[in-house]
Amino acid sequence: MSVFSRFKKNPEGLRQLVQLWETTPLVRRQKMIDIGLKEDPEYAKLALSFMLTFVDIVQMPDLELAEVLSEAPSQSVGFAIHQSDKKIKDRFLSKVRLPIGLEIREVLENQSPNASLIEAGQLKLIETARKLERTNVIGTKRIPLG
């Protein structure tokens, strides 16, 4: 039985696979992707083409980014951008209402998150964006039905 067989049988399977990969920590995710690429390169590449990454979040159009940031927990946003350059931090802060911006700034100035907290913050932004994509609030990397 193939790794992808359960995903291929389900009309929501592609979405489930993409979301599984999106929410899996990077080291484990890469192992899963490598296995998938060996088993069924075409299906794995299709799933990868819809996968959201933190870079996709950073590059979102302003309105979509504002939607994601308004839904994501402030602490997660602060952790996610903690090691980003000033330009990215400033862009994120400019897309939120003042109280949220103050909470994010508090995290940036008073927390020293380790790599796993930064990754967790980035994964939370991806999870939030995917939830908004599913409800048609944003259109970035919309996953089609199987």
- The residue range of the domain holding 33 is 5-50
- Inter-helix orientation angle 86-94/98-110, to 10°: 150
> Count of domains in the chain?
2
What is the pLDDT at residue 1? Answer: 57
- Same domain for 65 and 31, yes or no, is no
- Same domain for 104 and 63, yes or no, is yes
CA 16 to chain centre: 14
- Same domain for 65 and 27, yes or no, is no
What is the pLDDT at residue 3? Answer: 79
**pTM to 2 decimal places:** 0.90
What is the pLDDT at residue 45? Answer: 96
Dist. CA 7–CA 5, nearest whole Å: 5
What letter would DSSP give residue 43?
A: H
What is the pLDDT at residue 124? Answer: 97
52-86: pLDDT as tens digits: 999 999 999 999 999 999 999 999 999 999 999 99
- Same domain for 43 and 71, yes or no, is no
In a domain, 92, yes or no: yes
pLDDT, averaged in runs of 10, over the chain (146 residues): 84 94 91 94 95 96 97 97 97 96 96 94 96 94 81
In a domain, 40, yes or no: yes
- Same domain for 97 and 130, yes or no, is yes
Non-local CB neighbours of 40 within 8 Å, separated by 6+ positions: 2, 4
CATH code of 103's domain: 1.10.220.30
